């Protein structure tokens, strides 16, 4: 980043001191992260929301976020929020987009970096006592506080695109899952119906699933086989070229 070119087309060499003063003086902005935390439960895609505690947005829900600390990396701030809200470390986390419209926050200029995270809803206990923190059905739209609807849309769109070409979805499932669960997940995220036989054929032909030898338990019908995803094999054999196609 070329702070030194600040405004005018400067040609001289600047010292670190000059730039430090530029950085420290005027142009400082509050920075936050907001997390779109997806879960998958009862064959529905969910997002973790909390009641906005800002008077202006009373009654509306908002994403989970916080200001970034002065000595904190952006992703560290996102992981801090995830840990705080879900109790989990090591979640899938991907930066999606930064939102910085001048008027986006009523308290002044706050630029926010949006992250998308995927969690297995089995693996955690929410502290749902506070401010109505809850898993919200993605298909039942609520008007979110701030520009959080835009942020959510950006993250959901990204998820829909990305899940088609990358093995993200498994983060939303138990380690061992049936093909039906996997297909339900894809259908929920993409909001489409898929042909069951072709779906199976596709995943088997990609050859990244490991048959665990175990079967589903406690299902009220013929139980299916349980699989794990083979991340090592994926890393070795993943496609590099998907072809030109608009």
Task: With CA atoms as reference, report the closest residue to 50 among 35, 61, 66, 34.
Answer: 61
Q: What span, in angstroms and rounded, lies between the C-alpha atoms of 188 and 141?
A: 15
Whichever of 191 and 214 has its CB closer to a copy of itself, that residue is 191
Site size toward DNA (CB under 7 A) is 21
Least separation, in Å, of the C-beta of 8 and a copy of itself?
Answer: 9
Residue pointed to by tokens 């202006």: 56
What does 34 interact with, of DNA, a copy of itself, none (CB < 5 to 8 A by kind)? a copy of itself
What's the token pair of residue 18? 């000059």
Whichever of 62 and 120 has its CB closer to a copy of itself, that residue is 62
What does 222 interact with, of DNA, a copy of itself, none (CB < 5 to 8 A by kind)? DNA
Residue pointed to by tokens 């380690």: 175
> DSSP assignment of 167-180, as one string?
--GGGGS-SSB-HH
Hey, which residues does 46 pair with through a beta bridge? 39, 137
Whichever of 107 and 221 has its CB closer to a copy of itself, that residue is 107
Whichever of 55 and 197 has its CB closer to DNA, that residue is 197
What does 90 interact with, of a copy of itself, DNA, none (CB < 5 to 8 A by kind)? none
What does 209 interact with, of DNA, a copy of itself, none (CB < 5 to 8 A by kind)? none
What does 167 interact with, of DNA, a copy of itself, none (CB < 5 to 8 A by kind)? a copy of itself
CB 33 within 8 A of CB 78: yes
Q: Which residues from 182-211 bind DNA, rule CB under 7 A?
A: 195-198, 200-202, 205
Question: In the stretch 137-176, what mask flags binding to DNA with x, by CB under 7 A?
Answer: ----------------------------------------
**Burial class, 97, CB count within 10 angstroms (exposed 0-12 / middle 13-18 / buried 19+):** middle
- The one-character DSSP state at 187 is H
Task: With CA atoms as reference, report the closest residue to 62 among 123, 127, 114.
Answer: 114
CB 85 within 8 A of CB 126: yes
- 213 is a contact residue toward DNA (CB under 7 A): no
Least separation, in Å, of the C-beta of 221 and DNA?
Answer: 3
Residues at the contact surface with DNA, assessed by CB under 7 A? 178-180, 195-198, 200-202, 205, 215, 219-225, 243, 245
């Amino acid at each position: 980043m070329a702070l030194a070119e600040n405004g005018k087309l400067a040609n001289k060499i600047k010292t670190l001191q000059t730039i430090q003063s530029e950085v420290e003086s005027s142009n400082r902005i509050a920075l936050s992260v907001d997390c779109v935390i997806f879960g998958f439960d009862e064959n529905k895609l969910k997002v973790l929301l909390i009641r906005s505690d800002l008077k202006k947005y009373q009654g509306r829900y908002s994403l989970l976020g916080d200001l970034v600390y002065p000595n904190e990396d952006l992703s560290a701030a996102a992981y801090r929020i995830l840990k705080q809200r879900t109790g989990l470390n090591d979640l899938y986390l991907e930066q999606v987009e930064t939102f910085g419209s001048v008027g986006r926050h009523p308290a002044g200029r706050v630029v926010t970096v949006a992250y998308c995270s995927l969690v297995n809803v089995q693996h955690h206990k929410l502290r749902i006592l506070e401010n109505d923190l809850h898993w919200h059905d993605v298909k039942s739209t609520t008007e979110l506080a701030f520009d959080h609807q835009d942020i959510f849309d950006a993250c959901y769109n990204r998820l829909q695109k990305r899940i088609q070409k990358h093995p993200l979805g498994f983060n939303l499932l138990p380690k061992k899952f049936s093909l039906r669960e996997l297909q339900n997940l894809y259908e929920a995220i993409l909001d489409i119906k898929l042909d069951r036989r072709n779906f199976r054929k596709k995943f088997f032909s990609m050859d990244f699933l490991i048959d665990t030898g175990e079967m589903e338990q406690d299902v009220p019908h013929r139980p299916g086989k349980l699989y794990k995803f083979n991340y090592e094999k994926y890393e070795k054999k993943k496609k590099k070229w998907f072809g030109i196609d608009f």
